Amino acid sequence: MRIASALAVSAVLAAGTAAAQDAPSAPLPAQVKALEGCWRGTGEVMGKPVTLELTARPAALGALFVIETRSQAKADPADRYAAHLVIGAKAPKGAFPATLTGYWADSFGGDYTATGAGAVREDGFELSYSYPPSSFLNRWTLTGDKLAWTITAREGDKTQAFAGYQATRAACPAP
């Protein structure tokens, strides 16, 4: 009896696992995939001029998209920052269009990770990450080989520019 019960439980678990593995992921929107490659540029973070290096690529068999960023203050090379962003798509549900999900992790460590939600726009995409009591709206806009990335801080009904970058497509370093 125990063997039959164990076999039945194993069969149910295996069927559930197989079903979960068979579900296709929602395709990444073209607006996100267009960012693939390497980018170099400049910007400002809280009024401080910085340089920016960005690498973007598909991950997890194309189900997700990863953006690696590195920046450095122009006035102080020791003032550096790095972030690892993961973006995925959620399939449309009924009348609701496809949406984006995100995960933000950076050089401030585990205490400052955040999940995000957003959507595509004709010229790019946006994701908002919550860091209570504020949220940070990241807007990515692509025009040919030019990238504009702005981050706006929101707290209640107040908004304030937090960061803004301008970059151009660049050759990726050899692996």
Task: Provide the 3-class DSSP secondary structure of residue 165.
Answer: strand
Q: Is there a contact between 101 and 115 (Cβ–Cβ < 8 Å)?
A: yes
**Alpha-carbon dihedral 44, 45, 47, 53, rounded to 10 degrees:** -30
Separation CA 38–CA 60 (nearest Å): 19
Pairing of strands 37-45, 124-131: unpaired
In this structure, the number of other CB atoms found within 10 A of the CB of residue 148 comes to 17
In sequence order, the 6+-apart residues with CB closer than 8 A to the CB of 72 are 50, 51, 79, 80, 81
What Å distances lie between residue 165 and 44, 68, 127, CA to CA?
Answer: 7, 14, 16
- pLDDT tens per residue across all 175 residues of the chain: 555 544 444 544 555 554 556 678 899 999 999 999 999 999 999 999 999 999 999 999 999 999 999 999 999 999 999 999 999 999 888 777 779 999 999 999 999 999 999 999 999 999 999 999 999 999 999 999 999 999 999 999 999 999 999 999 999 988 7
Separation CA 71–CA 149 (nearest Å): 13
Separation CA 74–CA 77 (nearest Å): 6
For the chain, list the domains and their CATH numbers.
26-170 (2.40.128.20)
Separation CA 142–CA 105 (nearest Å): 23
